Structure 1
């Protein structure tokens, strides 16, 4: 009589979802940007081309920091409907999708900062995911208008968010018309590559390296060097302390170029109600006075809250 053998358990193979069109577009686009940057460097550059790359980097970094971030994400100033659209259009030339998607996704980061629900926490998913991996995945690909209802009511912004490639295409056409292939390579490709990595360093590095002035419930830090390359975004702990402030450099020695430009625009009447951090807010919740309160930085603190609990990443003061 043969002995019965236990049957091996059936292995269920869950098929991986196919890459979406958006994912494929993102991967091909970022790959092309990096390959094009290598080509541009191999071809060499004149001082004029280097200056062009620096200028387009500066203008578009301002569009990301002062428009996509401080306006659409945090409503730190007001402007007219016409200029709102033009600034949003300028922001699309940075090739970081549309203003509603960018602003809405960033609000999720603040709501769940450094928890499992954070969009790009280096503590939860590692450096490369926080730097670029989240950008290439499907999880945060779609626009959710519920995340940004205050701007979702403008049909022109919804249109621009859907056709955000209009900005980059227009910029590329202009560069070709003005200076040909080399102007395109340096004014768009090299500049965009530097711009992407400059922006993404705030996600990947500004929660790891730097100093902490405020006892926020996340791991945000202030970093002078990141502030230089991002026109002021490196004062990230300041920002998480009081998100709605248009100035992220709270003291005169904290360089914040984006805020200087916004202040100039305010004097010209282009924007108004420019919000800044009040003096009493700047002096509250200091680490040196209250101690470190982040459960991610204090070993004896309670473990992180479950996903259905209130987010740990809310700011210590201020609002969205």
Structure 2
């Protein structure tokens, strides 16, 4: 179904019903009104705001070591799904894997509440084609908050350019997951509540319960994961060093690299996007690459692409600018 996104003229009830539909089914084709394309659609982003507000419930549910451990574990697992698969695999094909493993990590990535793998890859490929130009919708040149998060809260950001991901759209399971991406985090939230409720009666020594595990394991972990992930858009094009004179503003930032499991070596990445390893030197810690190497020992991934030795040397222009 195709409909024009005429937010300025549609009655509130109609916009609310359309927004509600798109929360659950992102496959709706929308003809974007150019005058509204880059304005935040507040009705559409109510759930995103709700995720943030729900974190305040920590003052109600309390805390336990088990809830913190679950939050950290889910942060790490979902961060790897985003960096290793959403980014290095789906967006850049930096290695190969089987169809079942591809889908398994697509599901884990969707649990991050960062939309589906097709949407993510399409926008990231667009970013690399137009990095830090007027066509890059999350360049910091457009402002910090635009690059950090408001870009994907707009009608232009909601859409997916399927022409940019034809290699991925041939998989019906990925198309289905991408269309109903909200289902995975919803099931995760329900599962965490059930686990906490079960542990409250079966293992009371853990000191947790359903509401507590839901708040810490889902809401807090998800929001921290989200904001650290998008610092690569907002901060890694502003703060850090440049080893290579790329055509964009990308930087290497060691702190962001630690927090994002290697994504902070962003200037390296823009220099050679197809590499499975973004930390080019031994001291550039790249946890995502280490995890991919671990999976390769069991044959779950293979053909990890590396940077040609000749391309690892800093460019003269970058050295002069540093």
Give the TM-score normalised by the residue count of structure 2: 0.82
> Following the alignment from structure 2 to structure 1, what is the Cα–Cα distance between the partners of residues 304 and 316?
24
Q: Which residue of 1 aligns with 2:118?
A: 100
Question: Contact between 1:108 and 1:119, CA under 8 Å: does it hold in 2?
Answer: no
What root-mean-square deviation, in Å, do the aligned CA atoms of Structure 1 and Structure 2 show?
Answer: 1.9
Matched-pair contact (CA < 8 Å) for 1:105–1:119: no
Alignment partner, residue 308 of structure 1:
none
Where does the alignment leave 5 or more consecutive residues of structure 2 unmatched? Answer: 1-5, 23-40, 197-209
Report the equivalent of 2:225.
195
**Compared with structure 1, are the counterparts of its residues 198 and 15 closer, same or farther at alpha carbon in structure 2 (3 Å cutoff)?**
closer
Instruction: Point out the structure with the larger helix share.
Output: 2
Q: CA deviation at 1:140?
A: 1.9
Alignment partners' CA distance in 2, 1:263 and 1:287: 33
Indicate if the aligned counterparts of 2:189 and 2:214 stay in contact, CA closer than 8 A.
Answer: yes
1:63 Cα deviation after fit: 0.7
Contact kept in structure 1, 2:112 and 2:185, CA below 8 Å: yes
- 1:275-319 residue CA offsets vs partner (Å, 9 max, x unmatched): 111211111535455x45xxxx9xxxxxxxxxxxxxxxxxxxxxx
Q: Which has the larger radius of gyration?
A: 1
2-side partners of 1:104 and 1:15: how far apart?
Answer: 25
Give the 3-state SS of the residue equivalent to 1:94 in structure 2.
coil
Q: 1:230 and 1:41 mapped to 2: Cα distance?
A: 27
Aligned length: 278
Q: Tell me the CA shift for residue 24 of structure 1.
A: 5.0
User: Structure 1 unaligned runs (5+)?
Assistant: 1-13, 298-320
The 5 A counterparts of 1:166-315 are 166-179=183-196, 180-283=210-313, 285-288=315-318, 291=320
Asked if the contact 1:213/1:286 (under 8 Å) is kept, the reply is no
8 Å contact kept, 1:212–1:287: no
Q: Deviations over 1:233-284 (max 9, x none)?
A: 0000000000000111111111110110000001110011111112111115
Aligned-pair distance for 1:26?
4.9
Equivalents in 1 of 2:187, 2:57: separation in Å? 22
Change (3 A) 1:27 1:259: same
Matches within 5 A, 1:60-209: 60-123=78-141, 125-179=142-196, 180-209=210-239
Which 4+ runs in 1 deviate beyond 6 A? none
